[in-house]
Amino acid sequence: MARITLRQLLDHAAENNYAVPAFNISNMEMGLAIMSAARAANAPVILAASRGARAYAGDQLLARLIDGLVETFPEIPVCMHLDHGND
């Protein structure tokens, strides 16, 4: 499954009465752990990048990391949350 919008994810969660976790991510190991847990729980996930993570890894690298995670875990709906940046 490709990336989805936060609205799609939250609407589905509200209709089906479940919560969706958001996890800050800054490297591959964190991404793999989060996605493996989402796979085990058969659950969608919100991947967030904090201001610090964006400063550390950079937007381009984080975007490619998310692309790789989506390709590696195609059955997991993923929403990327970037609301913690400066702009």
Residues labelled as active-site residues = 83
Nearest alpha-carbon partner for 62 in 46, 48, 77: 48
- What ranges in 1-87 are assigned the alpha helix state H? 6-16, 28-41, 51-57, 59-72
Distance CA 70, CA 58 (A): 18
- Dist. CA 76–CA 87, nearest whole Å: 28
